Amino acid sequence: MKRTTRAVRPEDLGDLLEHPPRASLAFVRDGAIQLLPVALQYKEQRYLVGLPAGVESPTGRVKLLVDDGRWYFDLRGVWVRGLLKPCDTPAVTAEERTWFELTPEKVTAWHYGRMRGA
């Protein structure tokens, strides 16, 4: 039985990861889900996440969501689940941020404009 899928490889969305229009980090703190807008620099398959200055860094697993699209067939995105570890500030940064590298445990990518039979 054929099924339709919107799944793509994260590498297929390299332009989205290298120039994200928006990126958010979700995590649990004090039993509640928290969500922060973050900066993302994707270099050599490394996810560098910049938290706003003064924000307490999350502990435990986090999920990074990078998405784009206004209309159904433009919708595309990548989410990455994993752990954060502090890293050096990337060479090009405009704002004061605290930087972490996200070590992926699972990565999922989708693009509705590339739906196909599988």
pLDDT digits (tens, 9 = 90+) for 50-97: 998 889 999 999 999 999 999 988 899 999 999 999 998 887 767 789
* Segments forming the whole domain that contains residue 57: 4-117
CATH number, residue 86? 2.30.110.10
Strands (E), 38-93: 39-43, 46-52, 61-68, 76-86
Separation CA 13–CA 6 (nearest Å): 13
CA dist list (Å): 110 to 6, 16, 21, 43, 78: 5, 11, 16, 20, 7
Q: Which of helix, strand or coil describes residue 6? A: coil
Residue 31 banded pLDDT, cuts 50, 70, 90: very high
Q: Are strands 76-86 and 61-68 parallel, antiparallel or unpaired?
A: antiparallel
Q: How many domains does the chain have?
A: 1
pLDDT tens-digit map of 37-57: 999 999 888 999 999 888 999
Q: Which of helix, strand or coil describes residue 75? A: coil
- The token duo for 103 is 């070590």
- The token duo for 80 is 């990455």
The pLDDT of residue 93 is 67
pLDDT higher than 80, residue 5: no
Separation CA 10–CA 82 (nearest Å): 15
Residue 1 banded pLDDT, cuts 50, 70, 90: low
